[in-house]
Amino acid sequence: MGRTQAQDHDPAGPRLVGGPVPVSAPGPPYGTEHPLPPPDTEDASAVDRDVSGAVGRVLDHVLADRVARAHDVDPLFGDDVAGRVAHFTRTGGKRTRSRFLWWALRACGGEGAATVGAALRIGAALELLQTCALVHDDVMDGSALRRARPTLHVDVAAQYADAAPAGRAGRLGDGTAILAGDLALVWADDLLAETPLEGDAGRAVRRLWSDMRTEMVAGQYLDLHGQATGARSLPRALRAARIKSALYSVERPIALGAALAGADDGTAAALCAAGRCVGTAFQLRDDLDDVFGDPRRTGKPTGGDIGEGKQTCLVAVAHARAEAAGDRRALDVLDRSLGRGTLTEEGLEEVREVLTGTGARSAVEAMIGRLVARGLRHIDGALLDPHGGERLRLLLASAAGEGPPRDAHPRGTRPGPARAAGGRKTGR
């Protein structure tokens, strides 16, 4: 049964369908007047042991303050929109972008209280930016599940199903999700603006942040445009993957970490080249997982990209190979499956057979392997801190499913100062 507005007002935070979900544990609930003390002054070696936890503690502090202030504006807004943004940002997710930022910083010799504090705050801002991207993406794609839970717009629509006239609950859900994504973006920008950044590093970070936000929107538009027009060229699909994922998910976070550390131009260029290669591989792996992955691992049903008609590299390769071979059956399966909404399991299995039979699946797997290998060569050619460089290398390898688990620790490495040519430290 949906909840009315009066029933849903709860200072403990928003509720997902099926019962309450705490939005701040451990620590006091969001909406209190005494948020947690700032946690962004941790020692670099302590953060090394648990980057995700350190970023999470910054998020606890920031989100407690932001939701309390949202409640001051209006309690219903604080619960329905701000509370949901906080809950979405704090739960689930791998903190991949903030870990790329951190290990790029450490690979370039970044340390010291001010640098560590800035890195953690910008890492938290990246997580809020990711909330914006995912919540908006779910509305545009009409997705029902994210991280094995109802998506934000679906949750809001269910909450008000009995209170709103027919059809309006869905519109309320979509509109609320758009506003929630906007709010997450505002909070991300606020967090960056409130972070003390001086000199060349500050100017570089702000320029990178500005470029990254524009690229995020551009990548999403190319995705939508491809769905609407049915364009299936591999170069176009690769370009969309690079803008949507390679830059936003890997290269720019790495560039932010290098800039914070004061890396020299050559080191920063090598790290960014590695990020561009691995970021593209990251998106190609996501394309494969959407069709062949295990929903228990991905947190969403398989076949979503096919049903939505996304022109991924995987689809582009399959289509090109089927055309070259004159395989009319494969082309027919692709044409009647792409963009047709939710597929039956039998329909999805047909698509899987085409993607495998045309050799598209193995071709994309090979592309991933080549891109990761190329990215790691860029890392190997840079003069980096041994400990931070090796951790960054492991993270890059694992991001596209080509290496150890994300929590793996390198063996035999010790922290040490990174030196550029001529003996100058690459980080401050």
Which of 27, 80, 107, 172 is closest to 419 using CA atoms?
107
pLDDT of residue 40: 57
Q: How many CB atoms lie within 10 A of CB 381?
A: 12
Whole-angstrom Cα distance, residue 302 to residue 298? 9
pTM of the model: 0.83
Whole-angstrom Cα distance, residue 423 to residue 410? 25
Which of 54, 43, 48 is closest to 386 using CA atoms?
48
pLDDT along the chain (428 residues), means of 10: 37 34 36 45 89 95 97 97 96 91 97 95 97 94 85 95 89 97 97 93 96 93 85 84 89 98 96 96 92 82 86 93 96 91 88 97 96 95 95 92 49 38 34
Whole-angstrom Cα distance, residue 314 to residue 302? 14
pLDDT of residue 402: 61
Alpha carbon 375 to its chain centroid, in Å, reads 19
Amino acid at 32: T
Strand bridging mode 19-20 / 145-146: unpaired
pLDDT of residue 26: 34
Handedness of CA 204, 210, 216, 219 (dihedral sign): negative
Do residues 297 and 324 touch, judged by C-beta distance below 8 A?
no
Place of tokens 């997580």: 127
Which long-range contacts does 228-237 make (Cβ < 8 Å, 24+ apart)?
230/309, 230/311, 230/338, 230/339, 231/311, 232/311, 232/315, 232/316, 232/319, 232/320, 233/316, 234/313, 234/316, 234/317, 234/320, 236/311, 236/316, 237/311, 237/312, 237/313, 237/315, 237/316
Instruction: Locate 262 and state its tokens.
Output: 């004061």
End-to-end CA distance of the chain: 57
In degrees and rounded to multiples of 5, residue 316 shows phi and psi of: -60, -40
Handedness of CA 352, 357, 358, 359 (dihedral sign): positive
Amino acid at 52: S
Torsion of CA 299, 301, 306, 307, to 10 degrees: -130
DSSP string, 77-127: HIIIIIHHHHHHHHSS---HHHHHHHHHHHHTT--SHHHHHHHHHHHHHHH
pLDDT of residue 426: 38
